Each structure stands twice: as C-alpha cells, then as structure tokens.
Amino acid sequence: MSSEEVLADFQTKKLRSATLLEGLYWVKKNPEEQRKGSIVILGSIWRHWDGLRFVPYLCSVSGGRGLDLGWFGGGWVEGVWFLAVRELA
C-alpha cells in the first residue's frame, strides 16, 4: 500500500496517523512490538530540501530497536504496520 492509501483507509475507520511523539510514547510502553516488524508513523513528515517527503518508522536492527526514515512517496512492503490513533467524536 502507498502512504496515501493507508491515510485514506484510516479516514474510513475514523483513525488518524500517530505523530512521532505519540509513536515514541507507544513504543516505550510496548518495546517488543517493533521487533516483530517495522511500524510506520505517517503523522510526522520530514521534507527534504529537494521536496521529497519522509516519515519515521520504528524497526528492529540486529536484535535491537531502531528509528529510521522511509520515503512517504513509495509503496510499503508487506508486513509493515502503521500506528494510528482513534479520532475523538
């Protein structure tokens, strides 16, 4: 799925993408979850000087835990999770 497709799916489910701060708080409470697969945080976008957009993702690195940036404009591989927050009414 593309980032845009994920965001559109979130809207139909009354969800919004978590921010980096929310993602870091969540992973602090659930540290083992990122060892199971990468967790993309679409609610915080970093724009490169050339206009490309990147988003943070939590990942497993050599058995440890890491934080990296992924390209917002590309498709995401199978098995990637997306952190979302329920929208309040």
Q: Above pLDDT 70, what percent of the chain?
A: 99
Under 8 Å between Cβ of 34 and 43? no
C-beta of residue 35 within 8 angstroms of C-beta of residue 60: yes
pLDDT at 62 over 90: no
Per residue in 25-40, pLDDT (tens digit) is 999 999 999 999 999 9
Which residue shows structure tokens 């489910």?
13
The H or E element that residue 71 is part of is: strand 64-71
Taking 70 as the threshold, does the pLDDT of residue 83 lie above it? yes
- pLDDT band for position 89 (cuts 50, 70, 90): low
